[in-house]
Chain A
Amino acid sequence: MKIIILGAGQVGRTAAYHLSREEANDVTVIDVNDEILRDLQDRLDIRTVVGNASSPRILEAAGIASTDILVALTNSDEVNMLACHIAWTLYRTPKKIARVRSADYTERDRLFGENALSVDVWISPEQLVTEYVARLIRYPGALQVLDFADGRVRLVGIRARQGGPLVGEALKTLRAHVPSADARVAAIYRAGKSVKPDGETVIEDGDEVFFLAARDDIRTVMKELRREERPARRVVIAGGGNIGFRLASELEDKNQVKLIERDHRRARRVSELLNRTIVLHGDAADEELLVEENIDSTDVFAALTNSEEANILSAMLAKRLGARKVMALINKPSYAELIESGSIDVAISPQTVTIGSLLAHVRRGDVVRVHSLRRGAAEALEVVVHGDADSSKVIGRRIEDIVLPEGTTLGAVVRGEDVIIAHHDTTVQPDDHLILFLTDRRHIDAVEKLFQGSASFL
């Protein structure tokens, strides 16, 4: 796949990294800053072009004429939308993805409709991260909560702790433990290494367990893996930027939300837009302010400022002062690794959250959703199978008969409105959505081939 990425900012660089890692992709990055590009080209096998992202001349130099996907990730919504529009008008680029942050644009569907702006998909990293954090707050105890099939199926990552009834027991007893709910353990990570889950696998204290379940069963299953935590009521958000503000407005109806913002003007602005949130002007790493605002009875402290160092420090401080669960927004993957073993409960990596929505578009076959996990080493995806028993390698077969590549688990099948947790005797039917978990992303090629069997059929 030939891909052009516009903008070598944080998201652009991560996208270039993830996309160029796959043999089949030819990646070209355009940016105005030649220093960043040179550095990027030193580390990745990509081509770089220096120039203005929406200039047709520059796009031509980057080979837009034969490009399959244009991903516009510059800082400016306007440049992104314009570049996509130019790519379609002049070069008929098949797929155009733009980062559009401003809800002002994204709320108006007609803007991206027919005879309007030629943007096939818009993504808003801030929106994605906000939703991600909101889900984490909704399920206390979870490390990750990812949606499939419009949220009907969720993949939950959770650290197993002594006290959960299933901890210390073999996986096959799951059914007996929770007769009412059904779930499938997709992967287990023990001390950072993947353990292949089968019926005999015993869950140990400290394991990172990923399971798939229908939305309504999630809490029941989580209770088996660690003692149930009471739902989060009091939330403190550090940082009133795009993400902090969006999160506050999403949570303020059901939770008691406090938002700390250090810039006075921004604090004012945010307080005007929010209704029930208590907006505080101050420094999130100010011990007195935190104590004064009863940090010790806070359920969740989320540090979401632009500075990851500040996030780490304020989250650690909040934890020490008694916040039950602390989260920090962290860009650098190496930092995320460092702190999750420390006192911070959840590290949120905006790139990993965003990259999944890009990967869904470069996968062969009808892939509707991709989530990148464990800093890109693992991947969960939702694939639609098409065709019939003759044209496809999976349709009409029982799950036990499908030969999946190493480290791949078929966790769930979504058929119309129904969610079927995969068991060995489940038969795959045409137009099923299959949810797969790959512990090793390197086998993605084999997985794509398996499910692409009927691509010519489309």
Chain B
Amino acid sequence: MKDILLPVAHVFALVMMVFAATMLAPLIMAVWGLDPALSSFVISAVATFVLGALLWLATRRFKRELKTRDGLTLVALTWVALPAVAGFPLWHYLPINFTDAYFEAASGLTTTGGTVLSGLEFLPRSINLWRHLLSWLGGMGIIVLAVAILPMLGVGGMQIYRAEMPGPMKDSKLTPRIGQTAKLLWAVYAGLTATCIVSLKLTGMNWFDAVCHGFSALSLGGFSVYDASIGHFNSLAIEMVLTLFQILAALNFATHYLAWSQRGVRAYFRDAEAKAVLGVLVLSCIGVALFLFLKGTYPDFPTALRHATFNLVSIAVDGGLHTQDYSRWPIFAPMWMIFLSCIVASSGSTGGGIKMIRTLVLAKQAHREMNQLVHPNMVRPLKVGGTVIANRVVFAVLAFVFLYFMSIVTLIFLQLASGLDFMTSLSSILACINNAGPGLGLVGPGSNYGTLNNFQTWVCSAAMLLGRLEVFTILVLFTPTLWRK
């Protein structure tokens, strides 16, 4: 066990030092705004850097090239340990316990967006910036960022990339070098974020709100600086901008890069996954709007369409921003939104859930099985968007969906056992494992996760990490073979 952990710890120490550097952003914000949280950030940044440096020095002897299993361990270790580090300034400054601070930081890093805090508008700006920055860093992946900027991770980089990037087929790279691929993805991500921030500023937000919500939109985080989330602004223009960018964030960033490099939208039409995402979203928005209008929730169809579109898109792609307390809508609508949050986001996007490509693969596999019943001798490969999917991938998808489903069931039972009501248990676990954010019941958009007790909060934190790393990466830590020599 020592032989595996120590070399990984050596690299993790580097990640920690890089992470300490990201604390400079809220620190500068605190200095600039003469904010009371300044000392918390100074202590955290220094402590993180020093701890990282000490760990680096202590494990220097164990430096070696990373192997496959090291990549998995590194990613899992980083994601489990970083929320503790990231939550430190929150715990130090705010009157919350460690459980809640860990939850808040994990919720940021995994881009879930559920919060335990209320009175967000009264928090120091540095704290709010930190929460949103965590979302933004976690969106494309903190380790993918490390791969992009630390050349020494190049060799084991592919394993790391695969462990952190969502989706079933991660063998194709944009460029021969993994470091370059990571850089390109981050560049696309940063570019889209900047565009979103400027658009939000132009539609009426101040710069600070624009930056925070820009981070939230592209990372599909879901944090806001207002308790009422986007409902605070009550602006159709802002909602349209955010809807557009959240949809973009739910598509594969590799497709964005292709579209950018070809200077055209052809890439999107060739991406079967993107087409499916857009199709499902458009039909669902119209359907739910019609349903809300017919049920009389909103007096006219345009209003129903506006609210249905923003809230449905935001939850379905695992963002989590909201304008309405949709938990008060007739139950069909919020349940449909939560169902969509399980399947809509693309692989290679910043969204969570089982991803649209896996849904497509499973649907086609089911179709193939049925055809096979009618034509027992039929030979037909499974194709998605004209590309043949290897049986190996289909099996991996099946195993993934099984584990994902079992994780949900187990965690829901844990919540129920702790005394939570059914609706809150179900929705909190689904919202957390899909990294969507608000659930229904006690954790609905009108309230937040602060109402849960410590045990329930830890269960939610675990669900978020499982969901962000797509179950395997976390669960593999518990397999004895990983630790055996």
Q: Which residue on chain B has the smallest CB distance to residue A4?
A: B176
Total A residues in contact with B, Cβ cutoff 8 Å: 14
Which residues on A sit within 8 Å (CB–CB) of B158?
A: 41-42, 45
CB of A23 within 8 A of CB of B151, answer yes
B-contact 0/1 string along A42-74, CB 8 Å cutoff:
100111100000000000000000000000000
Question: Does B173 make an interface contact (CB < 8 A)?
Answer: yes
Which residues on B sit within 8 Å (CB–CB) of A34?
A: 390
Nearest Cβ distance between residue A402 and chain B, in whole angstroms?
29
Query: Given A26-B177, A28-B176, A46-B176: A41 and B171 within 8 A (CB)?
Result: yes
Nearest Cβ distance between residue B118 and chain A, in whole angstroms?
47
CB of B68 within 8 A of CB of A42, answer yes
Question: Does A219 make an interface contact (CB < 8 A)?
Answer: no
Residue with the highest number of chain B CB atoms closer than 10 Å, among A20, A28, A45, A47: A45
Question: Does B438 make an interface contact (CB < 8 A)?
Answer: no
CB of A26 within 8 A of CB of B68, answer no
Mind listing 11 A-B residue pairs with CB under 8 Å? A2-B176, A26-B180, A28-B176, A41-B158, A42-B68, A42-B158, A45-B154, A45-B155, A45-B176, A47-B173, A47-B175
Nearest Cβ distance between residue B74 and chain A, in whole angstroms?
16
- Which 8 pairs across A and B sit closest by C-beta, in order of nearness? A26-B176, A47-B176, A47-B173, A45-B154, A28-B176, A45-B178, A46-B176, A27-B176
Q: Which residue on chain A has the smallest CB distance to residue B68?
A: A42
Q: Which residue on chain A has the smallest CB distance to residue B173?
A: A47
Which residues on B sit within 8 Å (CB–CB) of A20?
A: 176
Q: How far is the CA of A2 from the CA of B176 in the complex (A)?
A: 9
Q: Which residue on chain B has the smallest CB distance to residue A3?
A: B176
Which residues on B sit within 8 Å (CB–CB) of A47?
A: 172-173, 175-176
Query: Given A23-B151, A26-B177: A45 and B157 within 8 A (CB)?
Result: yes
Which residues on A sit within 8 Å (CB–CB) of B171?
A: 38, 41, 48
Nearest Cβ distance between residue B120 and chain A, in whole angstroms?
43
Q: Which residue on chain A has the smallest CB distance to residue B172?
A: A47
Nearest Cβ distance between residue A5 and chain B, in whole angstroms?
11
Which residues on A sit within 8 Å (CB–CB) of B179?
A: 45
Which residues on A sit within 8 Å (CB–CB) of B390?
A: 34
Which residues on B sit within 8 Å (CB–CB) of A27?
A: 176
Which residues on B sit within 8 Å (CB–CB) of A26?
A: 175-177, 180
Q: Which residue on chain B has the smallest CB distance to residue A29?
A: B176
CB of B68 within 8 A of CB of A45, answer no
Q: Which residue on chain A has the smallest CB distance to residue B162?
A: A42
Q: How far is the CA of A46 from the CA of B181 in the complex (A)?
A: 11
Q: How far is the CA of A26 from the CA of B179 in the complex (A)?
A: 11
Q: How far is the CA of A45 from the CA of B160 in the complex (A)?
A: 12
Nearest Cβ distance between residue B367 and chain A, in whole angstroms?
24
Task: List CB contacts (< 8 Å) of B179-232 with chain A.
Answer: 179-180
Partner of A42, one of B154, B159, B176, B177: B159
Which residues on B sit within 8 Å (CB–CB) of A2?
A: 176
Which residues on A sit within 8 Å (CB–CB) of B159?
A: 42
Nearest Cβ distance between residue B13 and chain A, in whole angstroms?
22
List 7 additional contacts besides A34-B390, A45-B155; criterion CB under 8 Å.
Answer: A26-B177, A26-B180, A27-B176, A28-B176, A42-B68, A45-B179, A48-B171
Q: How far is the CA of A23 from the CA of B176 in the complex (A)?
A: 12
Q: Mark A residues whose CB is within 8 Å of B.
A: 2, 20, 23, 26-28, 34, 38, 41-42, 45-48
Nearest Cβ distance between residue A174 and chain B, in whole angstroms?
40
Q: How far is the CA of A327 from the CA of B51 in the complex (A)?
A: 55
Q: How far is the CA of A160 from the CA of B177 in the complex (A)?
A: 43
Which residues on A sit within 8 Å (CB–CB) of B154?
A: 45
Residue with the highest number of chain A CB atoms closer than 10 Å, among B151, B157, B171, B390: B171
Nearest Cβ distance between residue B392 and chain A, in whole angstroms?
9
Which residues on B sit within 8 Å (CB–CB) of A48?
A: 171
Which residues on B sit within 8 Å (CB–CB) of A28?
A: 176
Nearest Cβ distance between residue A351 and chain B, in whole angstroms?
20
Q: Which residue on chain A has the smallest CB distance to residue B174?
A: A47
Which residues on B sit within 8 Å (CB–CB) of A23?
A: 151
Which residues on B sit within 8 Å (CB–CB) of A46?
A: 176
A-contact 0/1 string along B268-295, CB 8 Å cutoff:
0000000000000000000000000000
Nearest Cβ distance between residue B245 and chain A, in whole angstroms?
30
Q: How far is the CA of A345 from the CA of B177 in the complex (A)?
A: 40
Q: Which residue on chain B has the smallest CB distance to residue A25?
A: B176
Q: How far is the CA of A45 from the CA of B178 in the complex (A)?
A: 6
Which residues on A sit within 8 Å (CB–CB) of B173?
A: 47
Q: Which residue on chain A has the smallest CB distance to residue B180?
A: A26
A-contact 0/1 string along B337-381, CB 8 Å cutoff:
000000000000000000000000000000000000000000000
Q: How far is the CA of A177 from the CA of B178 in the complex (A)?
A: 54
Q: Which residue on chain A has the smallest CB distance to residue B157?
A: A45
Which residues on A sit within 8 Å (CB–CB) of B155?
A: 45
Nearest Cβ distance between residue A440 and chain B, in whole angstroms?
17
Task: List CB contacts (< 8 Å) of B292-309 with chain A.
Answer: none
Q: Which residue on chain B has the smallest CB distance to residue A37?
A: B171
Q: How far is the CA of A162 from the CA of B175 in the complex (A)?
A: 54
Q: How far is the CA of A308 from the CA of B332 in the complex (A)?
A: 68
Q: How far is the CA of A35 from the CA of B14 in the complex (A)?
A: 34
Which residues on B sit within 8 Å (CB–CB) of A45?
A: 154-155, 157-158, 176-179
Nearest Cβ distance between residue B246 and chain A, in whole angstroms?
31
Q: How far is the CA of A45 from the CA of B180 in the complex (A)?
A: 11
Q: How far is the CA of A47 from the CA of B179 in the complex (A)?
A: 12
Q: How far is the CA of A28 from the CA of B178 in the complex (A)?
A: 12
Nearest Cβ distance between residue A284 and chain B, in whole angstroms?
38
Nearest Cβ distance between residue B417 and chain A, in whole angstroms?
41
Q: How far is the CA of A297 from the CA of B15 in the complex (A)?
A: 64
Residue with the highest number of chain A CB atoms closer than 10 Å, among B157, B158, B171, B176: B176
Task: List CB contacts (< 8 Å) of B100-155 with chain A.
Answer: 151, 154-155
Q: How far is the CA of A46 from the CA of B155 in the complex (A)?
A: 10
Nearest Cβ distance between residue B302 and chain A, in whole angstroms?
46
Nearest Cβ distance between residue A48 and chain B, in whole angstroms?
8
A-contact 0/1 string along B315-349, CB 8 Å cutoff:
00000000000000000000000000000000000
Q: Which residue on chain A has the smallest CB distance to residue B151?
A: A23
Which residues on B sit within 8 Å (CB–CB) of A42?
A: 68, 158-159
Nearest Cβ distance between residue B151 and chain A, in whole angstroms?
7
Q: How far is the CA of A42 from the CA of B155 in the complex (A)?
A: 9
Q: How far is the CA of A42 from the CA of B162 in the complex (A)?
A: 10
Nearest Cβ distance between residue B473 and chain A, in whole angstroms?
16
Q: Which residue on chain A has the smallest CB distance to residue B179?
A: A45
Nearest Cβ distance between residue B19 and chain A, in whole angstroms?
24
Nearest Cβ distance between residue B278 and chain A, in whole angstroms?
26
Which residues on A sit within 8 Å (CB–CB) of B180?
A: 26
Q: How far is the CA of A168 from the CA of B154 in the complex (A)?
A: 45
Which residues on A sit within 8 Å (CB–CB) of B172?
A: 47
Nearest Cβ distance between residue B224 and chain A, in whole angstroms?
40
Q: How far is the CA of A27 from the CA of B159 in the complex (A)?
A: 18
Q: How far is the CA of A20 from the CA of B157 in the complex (A)?
A: 14
Residue with the highest number of chain A CB atoms closer than 10 Å, among B151, B157, B158, B180: B158
Q: How far is the CA of A34 from the CA of B180 in the complex (A)?
A: 23
Nearest Cβ distance between residue B135 and chain A, in whole angstroms?
29
Q: How far is the CA of A46 from the CA of B172 in the complex (A)?
A: 10
Which residues on A sit within 8 Å (CB–CB) of B175?
A: 26, 47
Q: How far is the CA of A23 from the CA of B152 in the complex (A)?
A: 10
Q: How far is the CA of A26 from the CA of B177 in the complex (A)?
A: 6
Q: How far is the CA of A48 from the CA of B68 in the complex (A)?
A: 18
Q: How far is the CA of A148 from the CA of B357 in the complex (A)?
A: 56
Nearest Cβ distance between residue A22 and chain B, in whole angstroms?
11
Nearest Cβ distance between residue A34 and chain B, in whole angstroms?
8
Nearest Cβ distance between residue B20 and chain A, in whole angstroms?
27
Q: How far is the CA of A26 from the CA of B159 in the complex (A)?
A: 18
Q: How far is the CA of A23 from the CA of B180 in the complex (A)?
A: 11
Q: How far is the CA of A410 from the CA of B390 in the complex (A)?
A: 53
Q: How far is the CA of A26 from the CA of B155 in the complex (A)?
A: 13
Q: How far is the CA of A46 from the CA of B178 in the complex (A)?
A: 8
Q: How far is the CA of A20 from the CA of B68 in the complex (A)?
A: 18
Q: How far is the CA of A45 from the CA of B154 in the complex (A)?
A: 7
Which residues on A sit within 8 Å (CB–CB) of B68?
A: 42
Task: List CB contacts (< 8 Å) of B42-71 with chain A.
Answer: 68
Q: How far is the CA of A27 from the CA of B175 in the complex (A)?
A: 9
